[in-house]
A and B are shown apart, each in its own frame.
Chain A
Amino acid sequence: MEHLMHNYYEAAAVILFGIGFMNLLLQSNLIKKFIGLNIMDTAVYLFLAAKGFIYGRVAPIVTSGEAVIERFVNPVPSGLVLTGIVVSVSVTAFSLALIIRLYKVYHTFDMDEIMKLAREEEKREY
């Protein structure tokens, strides 16, 4: 428990991830669902950034002095966060486009309504 207080950035990231996941599961509005997904993404960035941080060290840009490992934080998580941001933007844009197409067919953003309408459609087909 005390260790959890030291790792509070990671703990916050995990809780944020849980909030996003719950949003993804419980919201029936599709746009809110994807806001939940974006909260989960943000939690992952926070986690990665926290893993790379080291007390008393600066961002890895060598403007003066020697390039020794004792001066800089870990640069690898920064690169990974960049990848994460790009993938998150792409996935969000693609899913929002799909949601717009769904709206054009069913005229609602509500997941339960869409499922109901789709089921009725399927029933009509058989």
Chain B
Amino acid sequence: MAKLPKGGLSRFVAWVNGEEVVDDLKHGHHKEKKTKAKYLPHLTMEQRLLGYRILGVLICSIFVLILLATVSKLPTFGSPNNPASNEVVERYIESGIEETGAINLVAGMILDYRAFDTFGESNVLFLAVISVVMLLKRDRNNFDEDDEKILNEDIDLDDEDDNIILKRFTMIIFPLITLYGVYVILNGHLSPGGGFSGGAIIGAGLILFDTAFGQSAVRKFFNFKRFTYISVGCLLTYCACKSYSFFTGANHLENIIPKGIPGNILSGGLILPLNICVGLIVACTMYGFYALFTRGEI
């Protein structure tokens, strides 16, 4: 760290690592820099702030007015002839079942016709959780004794409290929430729902379990290692499935995986495994966000 030049990058690196930037700078040079504003130097700070606010409101109003004028020229709401429902939509609806095997046409669209887009979404979620881990995970670089003390006090207070209503209720409702999440994921190609919504439901269940029984209870079946394995494994499975499909099926070649009878659970070719992958990633991500934001570790 010391070898880096004293510029923006090294400060940023130090900041990311949680080192004290402020104290380090106190020993720097004390050359006074002119702080006179470039534009309208005779205004005070308050006047500048007021001007900023007035300008902000003005710009926003003009912006909204322009957008409203645009809306008034858009095609009529709810009309069947508007240009959004073109031949693409016709193809998706009329040959969607035959080509993807899913009776939920949205699931068929996002996990078959546009599966690459959904892969990108899963990657975005994974990247977000990786960035949050980077920024908030408490390790030797990001460590604060006061925070640690407050956190331990919180945990002790939670242990002292019985929380009998919360615990009993969670014992009843946590299996139901998980079951419902699994149902939503597995029925993604048959009914409303899919990997994203089902994963969010399972993640919410995990968060409830965490609030009731504490992180040590969750750690017994879901720790950081498993979190990493599940997320990366699901992303790689998705990637492998979809590359396979691109190599064999997307080019109107015969796909080995059968489509099945539309309406059955085991139908829709790759849609079901892809939904499971996405659901697991989303559940891990949701719980990961919660755990990282509350305690800085999974």
Contacts and interface: CB of A to CB of B under 8 A. Distances in A.
Most buried by B among A53, A78, A89: A89
Given A25-B56, A54-B78, A93 B128 contact: yes
B90 interface: yes
Contacts of A90: 124-125, 127-128
Given A14-B68, A54-B85, A83 B117 contact: yes
Main SS class of interface, A: helix
Nearest to A57: B80
Nearest to A3: B72
A79 B93 contact: no
Interface in A9-67: 9-11, 14-15, 17-18, 21-22, 25-26, 50-55, 57, 59-63, 67
Nearest to A121: B25
Contact of B196 (A6, A70, A86, A125): A86
Given A69-B85, A69-B90, A75 B132 contact: no
Contact of A87 (B61, B76, B121): B121
Interface stretch (B96-104, B176-184, B233-241): B96-104
Contact of A97 (B33, B60, B131): B131
B270 to A, nearest CB: 17
B136 A86 contact: no
Interface in B78-121: 78-80, 84-85, 88-90, 92-94, 96-97, 103-106, 109-110, 114, 117-118, 121
Nearest to B147: A104
Most buried by A among B56, B117, B121: B121
Nearest to A47: B71
Contact of A126 (B29, B85, B136): B29
B293 A96 contact: yes
B67 interface: yes
Nearest to A72: B93
B266 interface: no
Given A59-B192, A104-B144, A74 B84 contact: yes
Contacts of B124: 86-87, 90
8 contacts: A59-B192, A63-B103, A69-B85, A76-B84, A93-B128, A93-B129, A97-B136, A101-B135
Interface of A: 1, 3-4, 6-11, 14-15, 17-18, 21-22, 25-26, 50-55, 57, 59-63, 67-70, 72, 74-79, 82-83, 85-87, 89-91, 93-94, 96-98, 100-101, 104-105, 112, 119, 121-126
Interface of B: 6, 15-16, 18, 21-22, 25-26, 28-33, 35, 49, 53, 56-57, 59-61, 63-64, 67-68, 71-74, 76-80, 84-85, 88-90, 92-94, 96-97, 103-106, 109-110, 114, 117-118, 121, 124-125, 127-129, 131-132, 135-136, 144, 190-192, 196, 262, 289, 292-293
Given A7-B71, A76-B84, A97-B292, 20 more contacts: A6-B76, A10-B71, A18-B61, A18-B67, A25-B56, A25-B60, A55-B78, A55-B80, A60-B106, A68-B93, A75-B93, A76-B109, A79-B114, A82-B110, A90-B124, A93-B132, A93-B289, A94-B135, A121-B21, A121-B25
